[in-house]
Amino acid sequence: MKYIIVLIFSMNILYSYSQILSLKEMKSDIDYYFTILNNEHPDLYRKYTKNQYDLLYKNIISEIKDSMSCVDFNRILLKMNAYTDSHTSISSNRIWGKYMNRDILPYFLIDTSSFSLLLNGDSVISINDVKVNKIVEEIYNTCSWEENVLLKESNVNFYLPYYFSAFYNITEPYSILRKDMKTGAIYRDTVKVNIKKNRIGAPHVNFEFLEGDSIAVLHYNSCDLISMIYKRALSKAFEVIKKNNVKYLFIDVAKNGGGGSSSNELIFEHLNSKKSKIEILRKFNKSMIDVALKEDMEAREEYLSTKGVSWLERLVLKNELRKMKRKSPCYLKTGTMVLKEVYPKNTKGFDGSVFVIQSRATYSAAVDFVEAFRRRRMGIVVGEKPGLPIGYCGNVKEDVLPYSKISIHYSSACATCFPLIETDENGFLVPDIPYDVYNRELGVEDYLKIIEMSHHFK
């Protein structure tokens, strides 16, 4: 019986990917997506104008044919991701699905002026006799304009084997034609790869103690924490840190792709910090601000009625609720809400030196973590620029296009904190100590080197 079920399931998947869509169905899906963006996105024209979006719509419509497979239609729609923010995107679920094994190729650098692949100083001419520039350009242009160029490079490397197999019939072994940039010599290199199977990722949080060097490392891999469970676990870990007189704490968010920003406070409770006053400007689509305001007030009222907070906290929350109700007509008119937060000084946390490690893969709520860490002057930021700038749009909602069943995600709110903190010209947090951290497992030698470098940091 189980073999029949598996066979039916497999046939359904094959039918799903070979499904043919009519012109009317595809146009309806495109209209559905653009309607959602117009009606619910909080800041759609942050980068591109309405006229540019209108032109994008016309270009996408012009690419669809009388009938197309879901795969080909999905591939066309991915081009729209270059025009939206990092949390608004068309998924690729109708091309290769959510769970698929993939080959691991050598990591390529990308020359974005020509979309050439570079490998160990050599220029890649072709792979299995197929020139790759156009493929690289296509994948690169499925990434959001908002993302760090290094993250885009990483995404190209991730999706390259998928595109090879799905659209170009390129599979391992990979025959790479390379040109030595110094000598001009051309040679072929055959690369055999292992297949990487999808598996459960690293634990959301785990500690590593290097007792001989008085170092502790908190691997904070996801901001999706279950409050009470991790709250107790973190308390126990910091008790061990104090008991063992640890002098240096590294908080590694280099692999943290985000989650809920509220989880960050579970860690901040254990760190010394300066007092911080911020004003949060939250922006919504005007047609959605009434819903957002209602949800926000209901959440605060529920918190008041169910949580055993102190009388002072209850007083503050009640005062905030009164202000929100009083200012709600202005919020409804402008589509923006202004909230004030005060984070008191903490002197009861970890007494040693604290380092946060970020990388191009540090994303979403993990970027919020680093921003708050720096804003409250808790320690030193190490690594490379994160995947996103601060002040991004988020609060993601999910939906499915009605006919193709392609998954979509879109932002429903933007939040900017004031006063603004120092960033580069594009809003990315620049590390205090630049360090090579991406795709690397740092060891004690790295931590000791960072500590030594911090002695020269002012």
**DSSP-derived secondary structure for 283-321:** E--TTTHHHHHHHHHHHHHHHHHHS---HHHHHHHHHHH
Are 348 and 402 within one domain? yes
Are 289 and 177 within one domain? no
Q: Is residue 96 part of a domain?
A: no
pLDDT at 194: 61
Render each residue's pLDDT in the chain as its tens digit; 458 residues.
Answer: 444 444 433 444 444 556 899 999 999 999 999 999 999 999 999 999 999 999 999 999 999 988 999 999 999 999 999 999 999 999 999 998 654 556 678 999 999 999 999 999 899 999 999 999 999 999 999 999 999 999 999 999 999 999 998 898 888 889 999 999 999 999 999 887 665 554 445 667 889 998 788 999 999 999 987 677 788 889 999 999 999 999 999 999 999 999 888 889 889 999 999 999 999 998 988 887 777 777 777 776 776 666 555 666 667 667 776 776 776 776 767 778 888 888 899 999 999 999 999 999 999 999 999 999 999 999 999 999 999 999 999 999 999 999 999 999 999 999 999 999 999 999 999 999 999 999 899 999 999 999 999 998 76
Three-state DSSP state, 152: helix
Beta-bridge partners for 122: 119, 180
Are 166 and 73 within one domain? no
Are 388 and 248 within one domain? yes
Are 430 and 370 within one domain? yes
Taking a C-beta distance cutoff of 8 angstroms, is the pair 175, 188 a contact? yes
Q: What is the DSSP string of 77-136?
A: HGGGGGGS-TT-EE--TTTT-SS--EE-PPPPEEETTTTEEEETTEEEEEETTEE-HHHH
Give the tens place of pLDDT for each residue, 23-46.
999 999 999 999 999 999 999 999
Taking a C-beta distance cutoff of 8 angstroms, is the pair 29, 81 a contact? no
Where in the sequence is the domain holding 268, given as residue range(s)? 205-454
Q: Is residue 95 part of a domain?
A: no
Are 110 and 225 within one domain? no
Q: Is residue 425 part of a domain?
A: yes
- What does each C-alpha distance from 165 to 96, 212, 450 come to in angstroms? 10, 48, 41
Angle at 320 between CA 316 and CA 324, to 5 degrees: 175
Q: Report the alpha-carbon distance of residue 258 to residue 221 in Å, rounded.
A: 8
Q: Could you count the other beta carbons within 10 Å of the beta carbon of residue 156?
A: 23
pLDDT at 12: 46
Q: Is the peptide bond before 329 cis (omega within 30 degrees of 0)?
A: no
Are 287 and 312 within one domain? yes
Angle at 21 between CA 14 and CA 406, to 5 degrees: 70
Q: Which two tokens stand for residue 44?
A: 């759609």
Are 9 and 145 within one domain? no
Q: Report the alpha-carbon distance of residue 385 to residue 152 in Å, rounded.
A: 13
Taking a C-beta distance cutoff of 8 angstroms, is the pair 254, 383 a contact? yes
Domain boundary among 168, 196, 224: 196
Burial 332-367 (b: 16+ CB within 10 A, else e): eeebbbeeeeebeebeebbebbbbbbbbbbbbbbbb
Q: What single-letter amino acid sits at 68?
A: M
Are 272 and 402 within one domain? yes
CATH code, domain carrying 170: 2.30.42
Are 169 and 225 within one domain? no
Domain boundary among 196, 222, 251: 196
- What does each C-alpha distance from 286 to 31, 40, 221, 333, 392 come to in angstroms? 20, 8, 35, 7, 18
Domain boundary among 62, 90, 118: 90
Domains in the chain, number: 3
Q: Is residue 26 part of a domain?
A: yes
Are 317 and 398 within one domain? yes
CATH code, domain carrying 248: 3.90.226.10
This model's pTM is above 0.75: yes
Are 190 and 209 within one domain? no
Q: Which two tokens stand for residue 394?
A: 């988020």
Q: Is residue 97 part of a domain?
A: no
